[in-house]
Amino acid sequence: MIRDIAHSASSQISSVKYDDETLELFVLFSSNGKTYRYDGVPVAVADGFSIAVSAGKYLNAAVKDIYPYSQV
């Protein structure tokens, strides 16, 4: 089941969702309206968005260039 993950206000990210069964993280970018799916993201990493001071910085540090992704 896909769930919303609360995150800090961001000029780059509109929403973050996570599928606990498939370990897929979905990020909707506000700048271009595109959604990207990151595969194999552990629950702890996904839930880190809820405590991160900056959702964009957290995405760059903990997800991008670490997990494979594709535009959906």
How far is the C-alpha of 30 from the C-alpha of 15, rounded, in Å?
8
Radius of gyration for the alpha carbons in the chain, expressed in angstroms and rounded: 11
pLDDT band at 9 (very low <50, low <70, confident <90, very high): confident
Q: What is the DSSP letter of 20?
A: T
Q: Residue 7: name the closest of 58, 62, 69, 61 by CA.
A: 58
- Give percent of the chain with pLDDT exceeding 70: 100
Residue 17 corresponds to which tokens in the numbers above?
């969702």
- Spatial contact of 47 and 55, defined as CB atoms under 8 Å apart: no
Q: What is the DSSP letter of 21?
A: T
pTM: 0.95
